[in-house]
């Protein structure tokens, strides 16, 4: 039995939905990324100076810590809580049908 194509699965197994792949960066974007990479060590050094300076405001020091940790370990995953009102509506509709 083969897998069916349906909602949430619009493509046959093994067939890409994006055969051309991710679009390539423009030359301007590539240049900007390269310039940013060249300055990344300097940026981390500045963030470290801010973090270690006791006369800097606590909020600025914490932001520097945040920046350094994000670069070292990546940003933490963001949890998003989604309420499923559709499930509640379906339950109410089912109860209304049974009551009639």
Residues constituting the chain: 100
Mean pLDDT for the chain? 83
- pLDDT (tens digit, 9 = 90+) per residue, 41-54? 999 999 999 999 99
The pLDDT, as a whole number, for residue 1 is 47
How much is the pTM? 0.51
Domain assignment present for residue 83? The answer is no
Q: Give the range of the structural domain holding residue 43, as residue numbers without chain letter.
A: 26-75
- pLDDT (tens digit, 9 = 90+) per residue, 6-63? 566 677 777 777 778 888 999 999 999 999 899 989 999 999 999 999 999 999 999 9
Quick check: 65 and 51 in contact, CB under 8 A?
Answer: yes
Domain assignment present for residue 35? The answer is yes
pLDDT tier at 93, thresholds 50, 70, 90: confident
1-28: b (≥16 Cβ within 10 Å) or e: eeeeeeeeeeeeeeeeeeeeeeeeeeee
Domain assignment present for residue 87? The answer is no
Domain assignment present for residue 1? The answer is no
DSSP string, 8-40: TB-S-TT--S-TT-SPPPPHHHHHHHHHHHHHH
Structural domains of the chain, count: 1
- pLDDT (tens digit, 9 = 90+) per residue, 73-83? 888 888 777 66
């Amino acid at each position: 039995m083969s897998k069916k194509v349906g909602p949430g699965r619009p493509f046959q197994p093994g067939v890409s939905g994006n055969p051309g792949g991710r679009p390539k960066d423009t030359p301007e974007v590539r240049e900007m990324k390269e310039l940013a990479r060249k300055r990344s060590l300097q940026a981390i050094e500045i963030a470290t100076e801010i973090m270690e300076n006791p006369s800097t405001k606590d909020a600025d020091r914490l932001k520097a810590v945040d920046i350094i940790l994000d670069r070292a370990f990546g940003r933490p995953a963001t949890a998003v809580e989604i309420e499923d009102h559709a499930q509640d509506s379906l339950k109410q509709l089912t109860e209304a049908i049974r009551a009639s």
